[in-house]
Amino acid sequence: MATETIRIESLTKNYKVGMEIVRALRAVSLSIMKNEYVALMGPSGSGKSTLMNVLGCLDTPTSGRYFLNGKDVSKLRDNELADIRNKEIGFVFQTFNLLPRSTALDNVALPLIYGGQTKQARRQRALEVLDKVGLSDRTHHKPNELSGGQRQRVAMARALVNTPSIILADEPTGNLDTKTSIEIMGLLQDIHESGNTIILVTHEEDIAKHAHRIIRLRDGQIESDQANNEIVTLEHLKPAD
């Protein structure tokens, strides 16, 4: 029986802008199971970024409940949310968010510092995930010595290093060319096949088609939530001879 990783119930999020109240999320409810590959889509102002921030424990809802692996995280304090983010959620951002003066190895090992592991254990684990994303020969390179695709691979290795429940990928190919985007989407497919739950936030239809389920938001509500019957796989991405 599949295990529920995420459940949100009647989630709302309001922001005050001047004298106005902006209702970014309006009573959103959904469940995501372990090892699902889900795309969140929607136009600007649809609420997808707000939902991503709540799911990533970067923000708290105005009302409603959010359960992550059975734990209600909707009312946790900031320091408790930070602990959840570090242990349960791996982030991959469009802009990579790497420390410019640190090597690939040090960037990947960074989340492990807060877990109290020894330097040797952190280094060993970081080397393992860098190898997994195909960068074992770039461990001592700094971000400015890497291509955009390699920087995104470092970011993905950093996201994987704590063995999180969820990989949350926000427009992961937004700053990449087509060839490199294909490589990164192939890597995300590999990560999913190894057992990770992936939530992909994108506005691009061709990127969303890599997911097995597509949730579309509009005006702070779920407009549709459907299985993707046209999944793009790594085999589809391989260039013709």
Residue 212, in any domain of the structure: yes
CA distance 148 to 12: 36
Q: Which pLDDT tens digit goes with each residue over 12-66?
A: 999 998 899 999 999 999 999 999 999 999 998 899 999 999 999 999 999 999 9
Name the domain count of the chain.
1
Residue 22, in any domain of the structure: no
Check if the beta carbon of residue 33 is closer than 8 Å to that of residue 2: yes
**pLDDT for res 240:** 45
Residue 90, in any domain of the structure: yes
Q: Which pLDDT tens digit goes with each residue over 17-26?
A: 889 999 999 9
Residue 18, in any domain of the structure: no
- 131 bridge partner residues: none
Question: Which has the closest alpha carbon to 233: 177, 176, 193?
Answer: 193
Check if the beta carbon of residue 90 is closer than 8 Å to that of residue 146: no
Low-confidence ranges of the chain (pLDDT < 70): 1, 234-241
Residue type, 188: L
**pLDDT for res 235:** 63
Side-chain half-sphere exposure of 222, counting CA atoms within 13 A: 18
Which residues, at least 6 apart from 227, have a Cβ–Cβ distance to it below 8 Å?
Answer: 212, 213
Which residues, at least 6 apart from 49, have a Cβ–Cβ distance to it below 8 Å?
Answer: 201
Query: Element (H or E) spanning 229, and its range?
Result: none
pTM assigned to the model? 0.90
Residue 141, in any domain of the structure: yes
Q: Domain of 97?
A: 34-61+81-237
Residue 70, in any domain of the structure: no
H-type helices in the chain, by residue range? 48-55, 78-88, 104-113, 119-132, 148-160, 178-193, 205-208, 234-237
**pLDDT for res 62:** 94
120: domain CATH number? 3.40.50.300
Quote the Cα angle for 112-116-117, to 5°.
65
- 190 bridge partner residues: none
**pLDDT for res 241:** 43
CA distance 148 to 223: 34
Which residues, at least 6 apart from 182, have a Cβ–Cβ distance to it below 8 Å?
Answer: 237
**pLDDT for res 117:** 82
